[in-house]
Amino acid sequence: MNNRLKIVVIGGGSSYTPELVEGLIKRFHELPIAELHLVDIEDGKHKLDIIYDLTQRMIAKAGLCIEVRKTVNRREALSDADFVVTQIRVGGLKCRANDEKLPLKHNLIGQETNGAGGFAKALRTIPAILDICKDIEELAPNAWLINFTNPAGIITEAVTRYSKVKVIGLCNVPLGMINNVAQILEVASSRINIDFVGLNHMVFGKDIYLDGNKITDLVLKRVCDGAYMSMNNIPDLNWSVDFIKALRLLPCPYHRYYFMTDKMLDEERKAIEDGSGVRAEQVQKIEHELFELYKEPMLDVKPAVLEKRGGAYYSEAAVSLISSIHNDKKAIHAVNVRNNSAIANLPEDVIVEVNAVIGRNGAIPITTGQLPIHINGLIQSIKSFELLTVEAAVLGDYYKALMALTINPLIGAIDIAKKVLDEILQQNISYLPQFKKELREKE
Protein backbone atom coordinates (compact mmCIF):
# COMPACT_ATOMS: atom_id res chain seq x y z
CA MET A 1 0.00 0.00 0.00
CA ASN A 2 1.25 3.50 -0.90
CA ASN A 3 2.71 5.82 1.70
CA ARG A 4 0.81 8.67 0.04
CA LEU A 5 -2.82 7.67 -0.17
CA LYS A 6 -5.53 8.22 -2.72
CA ILE A 7 -9.04 8.21 -1.27
CA VAL A 8 -12.17 8.36 -3.42
CA VAL A 9 -15.53 9.34 -1.94
CA ILE A 10 -18.47 8.26 -4.10
CA GLY A 11 -21.41 10.37 -3.06
CA GLY A 12 -19.00 13.25 -2.45
CA GLY A 13 -21.81 15.80 -2.65
CA SER A 14 -23.44 14.33 0.45
CA SER A 15 -24.04 16.58 3.43
CA TYR A 16 -22.06 13.99 5.41
CA THR A 17 -18.81 14.69 3.54
CA PRO A 18 -17.57 17.53 5.80
CA GLU A 19 -17.83 15.05 8.68
CA LEU A 20 -15.54 12.68 6.79
CA VAL A 21 -13.16 15.46 5.76
CA GLU A 22 -12.85 16.59 9.38
CA GLY A 23 -11.88 13.06 10.37
CA LEU A 24 -9.28 12.81 7.60
CA ILE A 25 -7.76 16.12 8.68
CA LYS A 26 -7.55 15.05 12.33
CA ARG A 27 -5.78 11.81 11.39
CA PHE A 28 -3.53 13.17 8.66
CA HIS A 29 -0.49 12.34 10.82
CA GLU A 30 -1.32 8.64 10.40
CA LEU A 31 -3.13 8.82 7.04
CA PRO A 32 -0.85 10.77 4.67
CA ILE A 33 -3.38 11.55 1.95
CA ALA A 34 -2.03 12.84 -1.35
CA GLU A 35 -5.32 12.89 -3.27
CA LEU A 36 -8.95 13.16 -2.19
CA HIS A 37 -11.45 12.69 -5.02
CA LEU A 38 -15.09 13.69 -4.51
CA VAL A 39 -17.40 11.92 -6.96
CA ASP A 40 -21.09 12.40 -7.58
CA ILE A 41 -23.62 12.18 -10.41
CA GLU A 42 -24.66 14.95 -12.77
CA ASP A 43 -27.87 15.63 -10.81
CA GLY A 44 -25.79 16.16 -7.69
CA LYS A 45 -23.21 18.48 -9.26
CA HIS A 46 -24.54 21.63 -7.54
CA LYS A 47 -24.07 20.09 -4.10
CA LEU A 48 -20.75 18.58 -5.14
CA ASP A 49 -19.45 22.04 -6.07
CA ILE A 50 -20.44 23.41 -2.66
CA ILE A 51 -18.85 20.49 -0.78
CA TYR A 52 -15.69 20.76 -2.90
CA ASP A 53 -15.26 24.45 -2.05
CA LEU A 54 -15.85 23.81 1.67
CA THR A 55 -13.41 20.89 1.62
CA GLN A 56 -10.75 23.13 0.06
CA ARG A 57 -11.27 25.71 2.80
CA MET A 58 -11.12 23.10 5.58
CA ILE A 59 -7.88 21.64 4.25
CA ALA A 60 -6.35 25.09 3.74
CA LYS A 61 -7.19 26.03 7.33
CA ALA A 62 -5.49 22.84 8.52
CA GLY A 63 -2.38 23.76 6.49
CA LEU A 64 -2.31 20.39 4.75
CA CYS A 65 -1.07 19.58 1.27
CA ILE A 66 -3.89 17.40 -0.08
CA GLU A 67 -4.95 17.63 -3.70
CA VAL A 68 -8.75 17.72 -3.81
CA ARG A 69 -10.57 16.94 -7.04
CA LYS A 70 -14.24 16.79 -7.96
CA THR A 71 -15.83 14.88 -10.83
CA VAL A 72 -19.06 13.34 -12.09
CA ASN A 73 -16.98 10.68 -13.88
CA ARG A 74 -16.18 8.05 -11.27
CA ARG A 75 -13.91 6.05 -13.60
CA GLU A 76 -11.75 9.14 -13.93
CA ALA A 77 -11.35 9.19 -10.15
CA LEU A 78 -11.02 5.50 -9.32
CA SER A 79 -7.78 4.61 -11.07
CA ASP A 80 -5.26 3.24 -8.52
CA ALA A 81 -7.31 4.33 -5.51
CA ASP A 82 -6.27 2.93 -2.12
CA PHE A 83 -9.64 3.40 -0.43
CA VAL A 84 -13.10 3.97 -1.85
CA VAL A 85 -15.84 5.24 0.46
CA THR A 86 -19.43 4.80 -0.76
CA GLN A 87 -22.17 7.01 0.72
CA ILE A 88 -24.71 7.13 -2.10
CA ARG A 89 -28.49 7.60 -2.08
CA VAL A 90 -30.05 6.33 -5.31
CA GLY A 91 -33.11 8.47 -6.03
CA GLY A 92 -32.18 11.05 -3.42
CA LEU A 93 -34.33 12.19 -0.53
CA LYS A 94 -37.41 12.23 -2.75
CA CYS A 95 -37.25 8.44 -3.07
CA ARG A 96 -36.50 8.14 0.64
CA ALA A 97 -39.67 10.09 1.41
CA ASN A 98 -41.62 7.69 -0.81
CA ASP A 99 -40.01 4.73 0.97
CA GLU A 100 -41.19 6.09 4.31
CA LYS A 101 -44.68 7.12 3.21
CA LEU A 102 -45.70 4.05 1.22
CA PRO A 103 -45.64 1.56 4.16
CA LEU A 104 -47.62 3.98 6.32
CA LYS A 105 -50.49 3.72 3.83
CA HIS A 106 -50.68 0.04 4.78
CA ASN A 107 -50.36 0.61 8.53
CA LEU A 108 -46.71 -0.50 8.46
CA ILE A 109 -43.54 1.10 9.80
CA GLY A 110 -42.15 3.59 7.29
CA GLN A 111 -38.40 3.69 7.83
CA GLU A 112 -35.33 4.20 5.64
CA THR A 113 -33.49 0.95 6.39
CA ASN A 114 -36.04 -1.35 8.04
CA GLY A 115 -39.11 -3.12 6.70
CA ALA A 116 -40.56 -2.14 3.32
CA GLY A 117 -38.65 1.15 3.17
CA GLY A 118 -35.27 -0.51 3.62
CA PHE A 119 -36.28 -3.14 1.08
CA ALA A 120 -37.12 -0.52 -1.56
CA LYS A 121 -33.88 1.33 -0.91
CA ALA A 122 -31.91 -1.91 -1.26
CA LEU A 123 -33.55 -2.75 -4.61
CA ARG A 124 -32.49 0.62 -6.02
CA THR A 125 -29.05 0.64 -4.46
CA ILE A 126 -27.64 -2.85 -5.05
CA PRO A 127 -27.39 -2.57 -8.86
CA ALA A 128 -25.71 0.84 -8.53
CA ILE A 129 -23.19 -0.43 -5.97
CA LEU A 130 -22.37 -3.48 -8.08
CA ASP A 131 -21.73 -1.21 -11.09
CA ILE A 132 -19.31 0.77 -8.94
CA CYS A 133 -17.65 -2.49 -7.91
CA LYS A 134 -17.09 -3.46 -11.56
CA ASP A 135 -15.15 -0.23 -12.03
CA ILE A 136 -13.15 -0.83 -8.84
CA GLU A 137 -12.26 -4.37 -9.98
CA GLU A 138 -10.93 -2.95 -13.24
CA LEU A 139 -9.33 0.32 -12.15
CA ALA A 140 -8.35 -0.16 -8.50
CA PRO A 141 -8.22 -3.93 -7.82
CA ASN A 142 -6.22 -3.47 -4.62
CA ALA A 143 -8.52 -0.85 -3.13
CA TRP A 144 -10.60 -1.35 -0.01
CA LEU A 145 -14.25 -0.42 -0.29
CA ILE A 146 -15.59 1.11 2.91
CA ASN A 147 -19.36 1.06 2.51
CA PHE A 148 -21.45 3.49 4.53
CA THR A 149 -24.41 3.32 2.13
CA ASN A 150 -27.60 2.06 3.75
CA PRO A 151 -28.91 -0.52 4.29
CA ALA A 152 -25.23 -1.24 5.03
CA GLY A 153 -25.57 -4.93 5.91
CA ILE A 154 -27.57 -5.80 2.79
CA ILE A 155 -25.26 -3.75 0.53
CA THR A 156 -22.17 -5.42 1.99
CA GLU A 157 -23.87 -8.81 1.51
CA ALA A 158 -24.44 -8.02 -2.17
CA VAL A 159 -20.87 -6.84 -2.75
CA THR A 160 -19.43 -9.92 -1.04
CA ARG A 161 -21.57 -12.32 -3.08
CA TYR A 162 -21.47 -10.65 -6.48
CA SER A 163 -18.08 -8.97 -6.76
CA LYS A 164 -14.40 -9.53 -6.01
CA VAL A 165 -13.95 -6.18 -4.28
CA LYS A 166 -12.45 -6.15 -0.79
CA VAL A 167 -15.26 -4.66 1.27
CA ILE A 168 -16.03 -3.77 4.88
CA GLY A 169 -19.45 -2.41 5.79
CA LEU A 170 -19.64 0.37 8.31
CA CYS A 171 -22.38 1.82 10.50
CA ASN A 172 -22.24 4.49 13.18
CA VAL A 173 -24.78 2.72 15.44
CA PRO A 174 -22.27 0.62 17.46
CA LEU A 175 -20.08 3.66 18.08
CA GLY A 176 -23.20 5.61 19.03
CA MET A 177 -24.09 2.92 21.55
CA ILE A 178 -20.59 3.10 23.06
CA ASN A 179 -20.83 6.87 23.33
CA ASN A 180 -24.29 6.66 24.89
CA VAL A 181 -22.99 4.27 27.54
CA ALA A 182 -20.07 6.60 28.19
CA GLN A 183 -22.48 9.52 28.66
CA ILE A 184 -24.64 7.49 31.03
CA LEU A 185 -21.60 6.71 33.17
CA GLU A 186 -19.99 10.13 32.68
CA VAL A 187 -16.70 8.65 31.48
CA ALA A 188 -14.61 8.93 28.31
CA SER A 189 -15.87 6.70 25.50
CA SER A 190 -12.35 5.29 25.08
CA ARG A 191 -12.84 3.48 28.41
CA ILE A 192 -15.96 1.62 27.18
CA ASN A 193 -15.95 -1.60 25.20
CA ILE A 194 -19.01 -3.54 24.05
CA ASP A 195 -19.15 -7.05 22.59
CA PHE A 196 -21.49 -6.60 19.63
CA VAL A 197 -23.45 -9.42 18.05
CA GLY A 198 -26.08 -9.44 15.31
CA LEU A 199 -26.73 -7.68 12.02
CA ASN A 200 -26.70 -4.10 10.79
CA HIS A 201 -29.45 -2.15 12.61
CA MET A 202 -30.20 -5.44 14.37
CA VAL A 203 -27.13 -5.51 16.61
CA PHE A 204 -27.10 -6.18 20.36
CA GLY A 205 -24.57 -5.34 23.05
CA LYS A 206 -23.78 -8.69 24.63
CA ASP A 207 -21.30 -7.66 27.32
CA ILE A 208 -20.25 -4.15 28.32
CA TYR A 209 -16.92 -3.23 29.91
CA LEU A 210 -15.43 -0.20 31.64
CA ASP A 211 -11.63 -0.31 31.78
CA GLY A 212 -11.87 -4.05 31.15
CA ASN A 213 -14.32 -4.71 33.98
CA LYS A 214 -17.75 -6.07 33.08
CA ILE A 215 -20.52 -3.57 33.86
CA THR A 216 -23.38 -5.00 31.82
CA ASP A 217 -25.78 -5.22 34.76
CA LEU A 218 -25.06 -1.62 35.81
CA VAL A 219 -25.70 -0.26 32.31
CA LEU A 220 -28.91 -2.26 31.88
CA LYS A 221 -30.11 -0.94 35.24
CA ARG A 222 -29.49 2.61 34.05
CA VAL A 223 -31.46 1.86 30.87
CA CYS A 224 -34.29 0.54 33.02
CA ASP A 225 -34.15 3.81 34.94
CA GLY A 226 -34.73 5.72 31.69
CA ALA A 227 -31.18 6.56 30.56
CA TYR A 228 -30.94 7.98 27.03
CA MET A 229 -30.01 5.29 24.48
CA SER A 230 -31.15 6.54 21.10
CA MET A 231 -30.10 8.53 18.00
CA ASN A 232 -31.14 11.89 16.57
CA ASN A 233 -33.22 10.23 13.85
CA ILE A 234 -35.14 7.82 16.14
CA PRO A 235 -37.64 8.81 18.85
CA ASP A 236 -36.28 8.12 22.34
CA LEU A 237 -39.13 6.03 23.68
CA ASN A 238 -38.22 4.48 27.02
CA TRP A 239 -37.74 0.73 27.06
CA SER A 240 -40.00 -1.39 29.23
CA VAL A 241 -38.18 -2.31 32.43
CA ASP A 242 -39.45 -5.88 32.29
CA PHE A 243 -38.37 -6.19 28.65
CA ILE A 244 -34.79 -5.11 29.39
CA LYS A 245 -34.65 -7.50 32.35
CA ALA A 246 -35.88 -10.31 30.10
CA LEU A 247 -33.60 -9.39 27.18
CA ARG A 248 -30.43 -9.20 29.30
CA LEU A 249 -28.72 -7.48 26.36
CA LEU A 250 -28.29 -3.86 25.30
CA PRO A 251 -30.65 -3.15 22.40
CA CYS A 252 -29.73 -0.76 19.62
CA PRO A 253 -32.03 2.19 18.83
CA TYR A 254 -33.46 0.49 15.72
CA HIS A 255 -34.85 -2.36 17.81
CA ARG A 256 -37.68 -0.05 18.77
CA TYR A 257 -39.20 -0.69 15.34
CA TYR A 258 -39.43 -4.41 16.14
CA PHE A 259 -40.15 -4.45 19.87
CA MET A 260 -42.21 -1.25 20.13
CA THR A 261 -43.87 -1.32 16.70
CA ASP A 262 -47.24 0.18 17.71
CA LYS A 263 -45.63 3.08 19.58
CA MET A 264 -43.24 3.80 16.73
CA LEU A 265 -46.13 3.78 14.26
CA ASP A 266 -47.96 6.25 16.48
CA GLU A 267 -44.88 8.50 16.53
CA GLU A 268 -44.68 8.39 12.73
CA ARG A 269 -48.37 9.21 12.38
CA LYS A 270 -48.06 12.11 14.84
CA ALA A 271 -45.18 13.53 12.80
CA ILE A 272 -47.42 13.52 9.73
CA GLU A 273 -50.35 15.08 11.60
CA ASP A 274 -48.34 17.87 13.23
CA GLY A 275 -46.72 18.83 9.94
CA SER A 276 -43.23 17.57 10.75
CA GLY A 277 -43.51 15.00 7.96
CA VAL A 278 -41.62 11.76 7.55
CA ARG A 279 -37.95 11.73 8.47
CA ALA A 280 -36.86 12.33 4.85
CA GLU A 281 -38.86 15.57 4.79
CA GLN A 282 -37.26 16.65 8.06
CA VAL A 283 -33.83 15.83 6.64
CA GLN A 284 -34.57 17.90 3.52
CA LYS A 285 -35.05 20.94 5.75
CA ILE A 286 -31.85 20.17 7.69
CA GLU A 287 -29.93 19.67 4.43
CA HIS A 288 -31.18 22.98 3.04
CA GLU A 289 -29.92 24.68 6.20
CA LEU A 290 -26.61 22.82 5.97
CA PHE A 291 -25.91 23.67 2.35
CA GLU A 292 -26.73 27.33 2.96
CA LEU A 293 -24.09 27.21 5.70
CA TYR A 294 -21.66 25.27 3.52
CA LYS A 295 -21.85 28.02 0.87
CA GLU A 296 -20.60 30.68 3.30
CA PRO A 297 -17.12 31.65 2.03
CA MET A 298 -15.84 32.18 5.57
CA LEU A 299 -16.89 28.72 6.78
CA ASP A 300 -13.84 26.46 7.06
CA VAL A 301 -14.97 23.91 9.68
CA LYS A 302 -17.72 21.32 9.99
CA PRO A 303 -20.78 23.14 11.39
CA ALA A 304 -22.28 21.77 14.60
CA VAL A 305 -25.75 21.59 13.02
CA LEU A 306 -24.53 18.60 10.95
CA GLU A 307 -25.06 16.44 14.03
CA LYS A 308 -28.83 16.83 13.52
CA ARG A 309 -28.45 14.95 10.25
CA GLY A 310 -28.19 11.56 12.00
CA GLY A 311 -24.62 10.70 10.99
CA ALA A 312 -22.89 11.53 14.26
CA TYR A 313 -19.59 9.68 14.79
CA TYR A 314 -19.41 8.78 11.06
CA SER A 315 -15.95 10.32 10.56
CA GLU A 316 -14.63 8.74 13.73
CA ALA A 317 -15.84 5.32 12.64
CA ALA A 318 -14.81 5.58 8.98
CA VAL A 319 -11.43 7.24 9.35
CA SER A 320 -10.28 5.12 12.29
CA LEU A 321 -11.24 2.03 10.27
CA ILE A 322 -9.22 3.23 7.26
CA SER A 323 -6.29 3.99 9.55
CA SER A 324 -6.46 0.53 11.12
CA ILE A 325 -6.17 -1.06 7.67
CA HIS A 326 -3.45 1.26 6.34
CA ASN A 327 -1.32 1.11 9.49
CA ASP A 328 -2.05 -2.57 10.24
CA LYS A 329 -3.13 -1.54 13.74
CA LYS A 330 -4.98 -4.75 14.64
CA ALA A 331 -7.52 -2.51 16.38
CA ILE A 332 -11.01 -3.75 17.23
CA HIS A 333 -13.95 -2.24 15.36
CA ALA A 334 -17.61 -3.22 15.03
CA VAL A 335 -18.10 -3.81 11.30
CA ASN A 336 -20.20 -5.65 8.76
CA VAL A 337 -18.11 -8.59 7.63
CA ARG A 338 -18.32 -12.22 6.51
CA ASN A 339 -19.33 -14.32 9.50
CA ASN A 340 -16.63 -17.02 9.27
CA SER A 341 -18.15 -18.79 12.31
CA ALA A 342 -18.06 -15.70 14.54
CA ILE A 343 -21.75 -16.37 15.25
CA ALA A 344 -22.03 -20.15 15.49
CA ASN A 345 -25.68 -20.52 14.51
CA LEU A 346 -25.48 -18.41 11.33
CA PRO A 347 -23.93 -19.62 8.04
CA GLU A 348 -20.24 -18.89 7.57
CA ASP A 349 -20.70 -16.93 4.35
CA VAL A 350 -23.30 -14.36 5.46
CA ILE A 351 -22.57 -10.79 6.53
CA VAL A 352 -22.90 -10.07 10.25
CA GLU A 353 -22.19 -7.05 12.44
CA VAL A 354 -19.66 -8.01 15.10
CA ASN A 355 -16.39 -6.86 16.58
CA ALA A 356 -13.43 -7.67 14.36
CA VAL A 357 -9.67 -7.20 14.44
CA ILE A 358 -8.81 -4.78 11.64
CA GLY A 359 -5.43 -4.81 9.94
CA ARG A 360 -3.73 -4.75 6.57
CA ASN A 361 -5.57 -7.89 5.46
CA GLY A 362 -8.97 -6.58 6.44
CA ALA A 363 -11.36 -7.74 9.16
CA ILE A 364 -11.03 -10.90 11.21
CA PRO A 365 -14.31 -11.33 13.12
CA ILE A 366 -14.09 -12.21 16.81
CA THR A 367 -15.94 -15.37 17.81
CA THR A 368 -19.04 -14.72 19.90
CA GLY A 369 -20.50 -18.25 20.11
CA GLN A 370 -24.18 -19.11 19.76
CA LEU A 371 -26.84 -16.44 19.53
CA PRO A 372 -28.96 -16.46 22.69
CA ILE A 373 -32.20 -18.28 21.96
CA HIS A 374 -34.39 -15.25 22.61
CA ILE A 375 -32.79 -13.19 19.78
CA ASN A 376 -31.86 -16.08 17.49
CA GLY A 377 -35.25 -16.28 15.75
CA LEU A 378 -35.44 -12.57 14.96
CA ILE A 379 -31.88 -12.40 13.64
CA GLN A 380 -32.35 -15.54 11.54
CA SER A 381 -35.52 -14.07 10.07
CA ILE A 382 -33.87 -10.75 9.20
CA LYS A 383 -30.86 -12.51 7.66
CA SER A 384 -33.17 -14.62 5.48
CA PHE A 385 -34.95 -11.42 4.42
CA GLU A 386 -31.60 -9.81 3.56
CA LEU A 387 -30.42 -12.77 1.47
CA LEU A 388 -33.66 -12.91 -0.50
CA THR A 389 -33.55 -9.13 -1.02
CA VAL A 390 -30.05 -9.34 -2.49
CA GLU A 391 -31.07 -12.13 -4.87
CA ALA A 392 -34.23 -10.27 -5.88
CA ALA A 393 -32.29 -7.07 -6.59
CA VAL A 394 -29.57 -8.78 -8.62
CA LEU A 395 -31.82 -11.14 -10.58
CA GLY A 396 -34.91 -8.96 -10.87
CA ASP A 397 -36.86 -11.86 -9.39
CA TYR A 398 -40.40 -10.82 -8.44
CA TYR A 399 -41.08 -13.95 -6.41
CA LYS A 400 -37.92 -13.73 -4.34
CA ALA A 401 -38.86 -10.10 -3.68
CA LEU A 402 -42.36 -11.15 -2.61
CA MET A 403 -40.98 -13.82 -0.30
CA ALA A 404 -38.48 -11.36 1.20
CA LEU A 405 -41.23 -8.94 2.16
CA THR A 406 -43.52 -11.69 3.40
CA ILE A 407 -41.00 -13.02 5.91
CA ASN A 408 -39.93 -9.59 7.14
CA PRO A 409 -41.18 -9.23 10.75
CA LEU A 410 -42.43 -5.68 10.06
CA ILE A 411 -44.74 -6.92 7.28
CA GLY A 412 -45.50 -10.59 7.62
CA ALA A 413 -48.81 -10.96 5.72
CA ILE A 414 -48.77 -12.19 2.13
CA ASP A 415 -51.65 -10.01 0.93
CA ILE A 416 -50.07 -6.86 2.37
CA ALA A 417 -46.61 -7.90 1.15
CA LYS A 418 -47.90 -8.28 -2.41
CA LYS A 419 -49.65 -4.89 -2.40
CA VAL A 420 -46.56 -3.21 -1.00
CA LEU A 421 -44.24 -4.93 -3.47
CA ASP A 422 -46.35 -4.00 -6.47
CA GLU A 423 -46.48 -0.38 -5.33
CA ILE A 424 -42.73 -0.29 -4.67
CA LEU A 425 -41.97 -1.63 -8.14
CA GLN A 426 -44.40 0.77 -9.79
CA GLN A 427 -43.03 3.73 -7.83
CA ASN A 428 -39.38 2.86 -8.51
CA ILE A 429 -39.49 1.21 -11.94
CA SER A 430 -37.19 3.82 -13.52
CA TYR A 431 -34.50 2.67 -11.05
CA LEU A 432 -35.30 -1.05 -11.38
CA PRO A 433 -34.82 -2.11 -15.01
CA GLN A 434 -33.98 -5.62 -13.79
CA PHE A 435 -37.68 -6.15 -12.96
CA LYS A 436 -39.20 -4.86 -16.21
CA LYS A 437 -39.19 -8.22 -18.03
CA GLU A 438 -40.87 -10.09 -15.16
CA LEU A 439 -43.46 -7.33 -14.71
CA ARG A 440 -44.35 -7.46 -18.41
CA GLU A 441 -44.77 -11.23 -18.20
CA LYS A 442 -47.09 -10.86 -15.19
CA GLU A 443 -49.34 -8.35 -16.96
Find all residues with CB under 8 Å of 126, minimum gap 6, and list them: 154, 155, 158, 390, 393, 394
Active site residue 314: no
pLDDT of residue 152: 97
- Chain centroid offset of residue 400 CA: 23
Helix (H/G/I), strand (E/B), else coil: 433: helix
Find all residues with CB under 8 Å of 368, minimum gap 6, and list them: 195, 197, 206, 342, 343, 354, 355
Hey, what domains does the chain have and what are their CATH numbers? 5-169+283-308 (3.40.50.720)
The residue-averaged pLDDT of 167-183 equals: 94
Residue 94 parent element (H or E): helix 92-105
Q: Among the listed ranges 100-109, 131-140, 260-269, 434-443, which one has the minimum average pLDDT value? A: 434-443
Mean residue pLDDT across the chain: 94
The residue-averaged pLDDT of 320-345 equals: 97
Asked if 156 and 336 count as a contact pair (C-beta separation under 8 A), the reply is yes
pLDDT of residue 233: 66
Catalytic residue among 16, 52, 254, 313: 254
The confidence band for 437, taking pLDDT boundaries of 50, 70 and 90, is confident
Q: Which amino acid is at 282?
A: Q
pLDDT of residue 305: 76
pLDDT of residue 308: 63
Asked if 171 and 152 count as a contact pair (C-beta separation under 8 A), the reply is yes
Q: Among the listed ranges 34-48, 275-289, 297-311, which one has the minimum average pLDDT value? A: 297-311
pLDDT of residue 239: 92
Closest CA to 56 of 44, 68, 38: 68
Task: Look at residue 1 and tell me whether its pLDDT is greater than 60.
Answer: no
- Chain centroid offset of residue 24 CA: 19
- Chain centroid offset of residue 343 CA: 21
The residue-averaged pLDDT of 277-290 equals: 91
pLDDT of residue 412: 80
CA 26 – CA 368 distance, rounded (Å): 33
Task: Look at residue 311 and tell me whether its pLDDT is greater than 60.
Answer: no
Residue 156 parent element (H or E): helix 152-162
Q: What is the tens place of the pLDDT at every residue in 151-171?
A: 999 999 999 999 999 999 999
Q: What is the tens place of the pLDDT at every residue in 85-100?
A: 999 999 999 999 999 9
Task: Look at residue 22 and tell me whether its pLDDT is greater than 50.
Answer: yes
pTM of structure: 0.95
The residue-averaged pLDDT of 122-150 equals: 98
Find all residues with CB under 8 Å of 144, minimum gap 6, and list them: 82, 83, 84, 166, 167, 168, 322, 325, 362
